[in-house]
Amino acid sequence: MSTSPENPDRALLAWAKDRYPIGKFVEWAEHKTVPIGPGAFWYYFGGISLFLFLIQVGTGILLMFYYKGSADTAFESVRFISAKVPFGWLVRSVHAWSANLMIFSVFIHMFSVFFMRAYRKPRELTWLSGIVLLALLLGFGFSGYLLPWNELAFFATKVGTDIIGVIPVIGKPIMYVLRGGEEVTGSTLPRFFALHVALFPALLTTFIVGHLFFIQMQGIHEPDAWKAQPEQRKTMPFFPHFFMRELLLWLITLNIVAVLAVFFPAELGIEADPFSPAPAGIKPEWYFLSTFEFLKYMPAHVGPLEGEELGLLLISFGFLLWCLVPWIDRGQSRRMTTIVMGTGVAILIFLTILTGIGYAT
Amino acid sequence: MGSVVYPVLRFLMPPPEQEASVSAVKATSLTEMAPNSGKVFKFGRKPALIVRQPDGTFRAFLAKCTHLDCVVQYREDKERIWCACHDGFYDLNGTNVSGPPPRPLDALEVHMQGDDVYVTRKS
Amino acid sequence: MTKVFTLALFVLGMALASPALADDLPGGKCLECHVTIDDDLGELWQDDVHARTGIGCDACHGGDATQDDSDLAKRPGTDYQGELSPLEITRSCGGCHGDVEYMKARKPLLPVDQLDKYQTSEHGKLLAKGETRVAQCASCHGAHGVREVNDAKSPVYASNVPATCGGCHGDADYMSDFDIKTDQYDEYVQSVHGKALLEKNDVRGAPACNDCHGNHGAAPPSIDAITNICGTCHSYNAELFLGSPLAPAFEEKSLADCVACHGKHLIRHVSDEWEGDKPGATCRKCHEEGEEGSELALYFTDTFGSVRQSFEEIEQLLGEAEVKGMDVTEGEDYVEAARQGLMQARTLMHSFSKPVMEEKVTEIAANQAAALEVGYAALQALEDRRRGLAISTLLLLLLTIGVAIKIRTLPPLD
């Protein structure tokens, strides 16, 4: 092998190049760039979300070494992990915090993409696959929350699946399949577990690969202003500049997760008892709070529809518009762009306020 | 990266108490208990009572009295389970037959494995 | 037209038939008038257990129940009694309820000794002497709305008994001519038994007045009887007491065993007043300072006091650990075991023996120590976690700084 001894990495690369047709790939990687500019900071959040996902997979697999997924044993096994297994408390709390941070990070990522109008042609599929990813993540959060089989989770699941059941026509069958029956019972737990550790991870991995593939093929979106003023164009190489900075943020994120895990460990509460009445103040996790609050404010009946049905309809409609935004704002009408951006700000404020109200009450 | 690798490795090594929740407990053995005798043992976190009946077979229950939660015991002279707190009695089916207890005792299942007597939750 | 007329007649007929509802229950024609004369009668008689078995007004009051004319119904020869006097009530009820053959054919499980017992009671004896203000059958069971004892609305249902007895015995004016206190009801409702029965509704376990005094042969228990009576439920305490050195001493001094220390109606949980050998403390009633008995009292006081203090300490410790996010269920298990031990110790006290108590206390102390151990370990673990975090943070920070430096050394961007 023709290598220089002062750079061992090169030796490995040369070894691989000798055997696999990765030449083109290596060249591409060396030339991949990332735009620099005022909005550049937001570019990191995609990577941070990915990092948090890797943490989730890692801690999730570790938890599976001790978790027992049946209604009789789930709670005790989680308590066992938290109390008896060495660093079990850490793995569990990191898993719980990382989940919350990941969803938060994904929201930041999505809204930053929105406000930079990176959804426009040719990146429509990237946008759509991203939304699918968000939906999957919410599914992860919902299914994972039940797994400790504690009182709070049990009732939150009951309320959550009740809301799903309100969807006209398909709502009840979906609820039935999710619950494994009429009510949330010991049959619900294995289903949620299967979703959480098998189905959702498989789907998520597929869509992440798709999402990243689209991005790599098309390159990172450049700010609109550059079209008018090409002299402003400034980029940095992905390897090593952007990557190193991303790594820095990853390390800081890891530290933040660790601090949160130590100072705010995940709670367990008491075991779920299907026969006891619901305790006061049942709330879903924060990422569902805005939906929850919104439905609470619906009047009991509006015309032929029940209040909750109307609420879900409105939410679904809003969601659909959000998905279709690449086709609504194609960059051809200034007015349309302004309207869409304004709506985005309004939605962000609306969601934040509703979440805040949900927390306060 | 030691701060990640070390905790992970320690996590994977199981702690001395291997089981999370209790599904089966070895309560006693044929040689340990004579007929018409009882023994209080720990079933997971809860106190339990195993009784070897005069005919040699075993019955097991959670040992918390259904009146005010005192731990019950076996009375050979009465061939009944007795709660010393307020003189409550249960028969060997666990049914509350005398005194304050309002409900029967919670029964557990008994399985024999050779000479060993195992107690599990009711399925 | 005819249809409307028939309908009107039908409605009128139904309206007039309402007094005839009285005919559905036995009583015969008596009820037709007496339902309107006596306010509650109709309502009471609906629920009466005798009415349901077909026993009518004439069974107790005599008279001719087939006559709806008052004079005819009550004419001589019909054995009409009218309102019964207290003594007549006992004879009337006892006439059937004391007849073995009669009751065997109707309700074989009911005892038939109520009247016999009643005549041995204070109520019965006074009534025989002509005192009519005492309780007789109807005072407690009612006359016309008699319900079964296990009917929750019956005045003699377990949780209603204290109020029924207390109706007279708690009324100072009513009892003013009798040489008997009237504070029993007030004391009872504050006692552990009263609270168990009336607040927690423990009808199977908690005693009402009749469980200690008897039902029909109601009398205050004699001094000799007290241990047996309390021992009906508290059998182990009674057994220990009878085997203790106190029992013969109490008998010699004619002290009322359990009642001498625990009181009769105002039986409460042990409080600080019982403690030690200061004047006013329970043991001090008989034992002088420095005596063997007093020494034992002090030992008990100190022992229970330190056990209680340990519980407080444990609760605080475990609470602190729990609030900070640590799992302390194992500690709670030890606390539970210690509490069981304490309950047993309180019972064992009745043997008034130091060695017996020492054995139990050692057991309690072991459990409490284990609970404290769990608490301290939890708090220690918290410290360890924080320390571990500090170390990892330091390492990560070093790595982060390393990466930052590396970034600085990268070729500049253009």
Q: Residues of B with CB below 8 A from A82's CB? A: none
Is C372 part of a structural domain of the chain?
A: yes
Model ipTM over 0.85: no
User: Is B15 within a domain?
Assistant: no
Q: Mean pLDDT, chain A, as a whole number?
A: 88
Residue of A nearest to C392 (CA): A255
Note the pLDDT tens digit of each residue in B49-86: 999 999 999 999 999 999 999 999 999 999 999 999 99
How many Cα atoms are found within 13 Å in the side-chain-facing hemisphere of B101? 27
Q: Write the CB contacts of C345 (distance below 8 Å, at least 6 apart in sequence).
A: C303, C304, C307, C357, C360, C361, C364
- The two tokens of residue B107 are 């029964």
Instruction: Using the structure block, give the residue that is written with the tokens 């009429």.
Output: A182
- A86 and B10 within 8 Å at the Cβ level: the answer is yes
Shortest Cα distance from A83 to chain B (angstroms)?
A: 10
Is B59 domain-assigned?
yes
pLDDT of residue C276: 67
In a domain, C149, yes or no: no
User: Is A3 in the B-facing interface, judged by CB distances under 8 Å?
Assistant: no
**C202, B100: Cβ pair inside 8 Å?**
yes
Set out the domains of chain A in order of their start, with CATH numbers. Answer: 30-220+236-271 (1.20.810.10), 289-361 (no CATH)
Q: What is the DSSP letter of A150?
A: B
CA C318 to mean position of chain CA atoms = 34
Q: Per-residue confidence at B121, pLDDT binned at 50, 70, 90?
A: confident
Task: Answer yes or no: do B84 and C236 touch at CB < 8 A.
Answer: yes
| Residue in B7, A267, A252, A94 with CA at minimum distance from that of residue C384 | B7
Site from A61, A64, A73, A92 to mutate, B interface, most B CB atoms within 10 angstroms = A73
Within a domain: residue C21? Answer: no
Residue B5 domain flag:
no
Q: Judge: B87–C391 Cβ closer than 8 Å, yes or no.
A: no
Query: Does the pLDDT at position B110 exceed 70?
Result: yes
C395 touches chain B (CB under 8 A): yes
Instruction: Note whether residue B106 is domain-resident.
Output: yes
pLDDT of residue C54: 85
Q: Is residue C150 within a helix (H) or strand (E), and if so which, with residue range?
A: none
Beta carbons of B3 and C236 less than 8 Å apart = no
Q: Do the Cβ atoms of B84 and C391 come within 8 Å?
A: no
State the DSSP code for A20: S
Which of A70, A77, A84, A149 to mutate against chain B (most B CBs within 10 Å)? A84
Tell me what percent of chain A is helix, strand and coil, each rounded to the nearest 5: 70, 5, 25
How many distinct structural domains can be found in chain C? 2
Residue predicted with more confidence, C262 or A305: C262
Residue for token pair 């019956």: C154
C184 is a domain residue: no
Q: Do the beta carbons of residue A115 and residue A344 sit within 8 Å?
A: yes
Q: Is B9 contained in some domain?
A: no
Give the per-residue pLDDT at A9. 61
pLDDT of residue C1: 61
HSE-CB of A91 using CA atoms within 13 angstroms: 30
Do residues B83 and B40 lie in contact, with contact meaning Cβ atoms separated by under 8 Å? no
In a domain, B101, yes or no: yes
**Rounded-to-integer distance, Cα C87 and Cα C108, Å:** 26
**Domain residues for B80?**
25-120
- Reply yes or no: is the peptide bond before residue A122 cis, omega within 30 of 0: yes
Contact across the interface for C407 and A262, Cβ inside 8 Å: no
Mean pLDDT over residues A322-347, rounded? 91
The pLDDT, as a whole number, for residue A1 is 44
Asked if A62 lies within 8 A of B12 by C-beta distance, the reply is yes
The residues facing B108 across adjacent strands are B60
Torsions phi, psi for B51 (to 5 deg):
-120, 130
Minimal Cβ distance to A80: which of B4, B7, B20: B20
Contact C396 A236 (CB under 8 A): no
Q: With CB atoms and an 8 Å threshold, state whether A258 touches C393.
A: yes
- The pLDDT value recorded for residue A2 is 47
**Pick from C206, C235, C392: CB nearest B87:** C235
Judge whether A91 is closer than 8 Å to chain B, CB to CB. yes
d(CA A273, CA A117): 48
Torsion angle of C-alpha atoms A13, A19, A25, A31, degrees rounded to 10: 40
| Angle (nearest 5°) at CA C385 between C384 and C391 | 90
Mean pLDDT on A253-260: 93
**A90 to chain B nearest CA, in Å?**
8
Distance (Å, whole) CA C71 – CA C78: 11
Cross-chain residue pair C329–B45, CB shorter than 8 Å: yes
Token output for C139: 């005072």
CATH number of the domain bearing residue B90: 2.102.10.10
What is the rounded distance in angstroms from the CA atom of residue A286 to the CA atom of residue C60?
74
A87: left (phi over 0), alpha (psi -120 to 50) or beta: left
3-class SS of residue A278: coil
Residue B62, in any domain of the structure = yes
Do C396 and A36 lie within an 8 Å CB cutoff?
no
Query: Which has the higher per-residue pLDDT, C130 or A230?
Result: C130
Query: Using one digit for the tens of pLDDT, what is the confidence trace for A108-163?
Result: 999 999 998 889 989 999 999 999 999 999 999 999 999 999 998 999 999 889 88
Say which amino acid occupies C18.
S
Go through chain A and tell me how many residues it has.
361
Chains contacting C with at least 3 CB pairs below 8 Å? Answer: A, B
**Torsions phi, psi of A117, nearest 5?**
55, 35
| Distance between CA atoms of residues A35 and A234, nearest Å | 6
Question: Which of A152, A177, A174 lies closest to A165, judged by CA?
Answer: A174
* Rounded-to-integer distance, Cα C163 and Cα C145, Å: 17
- Subunits that touch chain B (at least 3 Cβ pairs < 8 angstroms)? A, C
CA distance A304 to chain C (A): 44
Which residue from C327, C392, C403 is facing A79, i.e. has the nearest CB?
Answer: C327
Q: How many domains does chain B have?
A: 1
Question: If you measure CA to CA, which chain C residue comes closest to B89?
Answer: C233
Domain that holds residue C325: 292-386
Regions in chain C scoring below 70 on pLDDT: 1-2, 4-23, 272-273, 275-277, 280, 414
- The reply to whether C321 falls in a domain is yes
Q: Are B72 and B82 in contact (CB under 8 A)?
A: yes
Judged by a CB distance cut-off of 8 A, whether residue A264 touches chain B is no
Q: Which of residues 13-72 of B touch C (CB under 8 A)?
A: 45, 47, 67-68, 70-71
Q: How far is A40 from chain C (nearest CA, A)?
A: 14
What type of residue sits at position C40?
Answer: D
Verify whether the Cβ–Cβ distance A247 to C403 is below 8 Å: yes
* B74 located within any domain: yes
Which residues of chain C have a CB within 8 Å of the CB of A255? 392-393, 396-397, 400
From chain B, pick out residues whose CB is under 8 angstroms from the CB of C344.
84
Question: In this complex, do C406 and A265 lie within 8 Å of one another by their Cβ atoms?
Answer: no
Count chain A–chain C contacts defined by CB atoms under 8 A.
52
Residues in contact with A113: Cβ distance below 8 Å, sequence separation at least 6, in sequence order: A119, A127, A130, A221
Q: How far apart are CA C218 and CA C209, in angstroms?
A: 9
- Picking from C38, C66, C83, the residue at the C-terminal end of a domain is C83
